[in-house]
Amino acid sequence: MRLFALEAGGGIAIGFVIGYVGFKALKSMDEYTLEVLITLAIVMGGYALASSLHMSGPLAMAVAGLLIGNYGFERAMSDVTRDYVHKFWELVDEVLNSILFLLIGLEMIALVPGHGHIMIGLAAIVVTLIARAISVGAMVKTVPGVSLDAPGAVRVLWWGGLRGGISIALVLSLPPGETRHLLLAATFAAVLFSVLIQRATLGKMIERLQRQHMPSVEPEPERIGMGSDY
């Protein structure tokens, strides 16, 4: 537990510091080419720094990305820079996602799934859905200012908890061993269910909820003899 807290907490702290330094650097200039390179340096240098200190690189980059992508995106970039940064990282995201899922496929070829892998994969799907329901319910009940009055909003938040790249990247970074194989099978099953089932049915769920709760508009009765006499 202490090692987990050190790795996760250290990764979050490093990500916040790197994100803040990057925000200050972006705010001090207005040159989109340099600013795109700064965002790239934050990712490459920040991940290398976190790994060298035995901290969580993915968590560090997630925190730095949240800081730069929200606070820095609005307050440290011009419209031109914002457009270039968005398009650059959108392209990088597509390329890296393709490589990541290629690695997943190659890893699953090397890993011959047995009965235990299938069972732990199914259990992981159930556990992730239950955990998502608990987290969404706790947020709605306990966090001040959170109000979800729209019918079915909690259900959409629960079913819309999609998982993908970060989960796979974290489990692929584990050292080889039987535990890694079990965790990879569980993570792969949860991500596969999320991509193939949840993402594919989320839009239909929202449409069905809209139809169920959309107020019916009754046609107004015809008015006979109510014409204007003016």
HSE on the CB side for 226, CA within 13 Å?
Answer: 4
Q: Residue 226 corresponds to which tokens in the numbers above?
A: 């109510």
* Gyration radius from the chain CA atoms: 24
Query: 113 — alpha (psi -120 to 50), left (phi > 0) or beta?
Result: beta
**pLDDT tens digits, the chain, 230 residues: what are they?**
777 788 888 889 999 999 999 999 998 888 889 999 999 999 999 999 998 888 888 889 889 988 998 888 888 888 899 999 999 999 998 888 788 778 777 766 766 666 777 888 889 889 988 988 888 888 777 766 666 666 677 788 888 877 777 777 778 777 777 788 788 888 888 888 888 888 888 888 888 877 776 654 445 554 444 344 43
Q: Residue 207 corresponds to which tokens in the numbers above?
A: 């449409």
**Of 162, 185, 40, 41, whose CA–CA distance to 111 is shortest?**
185
pTM of the model: 0.62
Separation between Cα atoms, residue 134 and residue 158, nearest integer Å: 9
> What three-state secondary structure class fits 151?
coil
